[in-house]
Homo-oligomer: A and B are copies of this chain.
Amino acid sequence: MASLLVDPAMRVFAICAGILVLKMLLTANLTGILRTSRRVFASPEDYRFFGAEPVAQPDEQIERIRRAHRNDLENILPFLVIGFLYAMTGPSYTVAWWLFVSFTVARLLHTAVYIAGLQPWRTVFFGIGSIALYAMTLIVVVRLI
Interface residues of A (CB under 8 A from B): 1-2, 4-5, 7, 11, 14-15, 17-19, 21-22, 24-25, 28-29, 42-46, 48-49, 64, 67, 69, 73-75, 77-78, 80-82, 84-85, 87-90, 114, 117-120, 122, 130, 133-134, 137-138, 140-141, 143-145
Contacts and interface: CB of A to CB of B under 8 A. Distances in A.
Nearest to A80: B81
A88 B22 contact: no
Question: How many copies of this chain are found per oligomer?
Answer: 3
Given A46-B119, A120-B49, A144-B18, A25 B133 contact: yes
B140 A85 contact: no
B84 A81 contact: yes
